[in-house]
Amino acid sequence: MPMKLLGQLCCARMPMQLHDQMDIQKCEVLRAAQLIEADLPPVLHERGRSVYAGQATVMRVTPKGLSAATRRG
């Protein structure tokens, strides 16, 4: 769930690099919601599936993201 990752990012040292495909996908959702600022790798489409070509770098959790994480508890 993206909100669990958001909670982890709130406590992490930035910038943080993520390599796991599922975590990168969650970052894409969090960035679209303006909860984090992150550079995401391009998506490659190979043999009917999509994969991220590299790692994501999360620069910071936005004030909106901190508020959302606090509300979540």
Give me the residue spans of the domains in the chain.
2-72
Residue 50 near residue 71, CB atoms below 8 Å: no
Note the pTM of the prediction, 2 decimals. Answer: 0.91
d(Cα 58, Cα 36) in Å, to the nearest integer? 7
d(Cα 62, Cα 46) in Å, to the nearest integer? 33
pLDDT tens by residue, the chain, 73 residues: 899 999 999 999 999 999 999 999 999 999 999 999 999 999 999 888 989 999 999 999 999 999 999 987 6
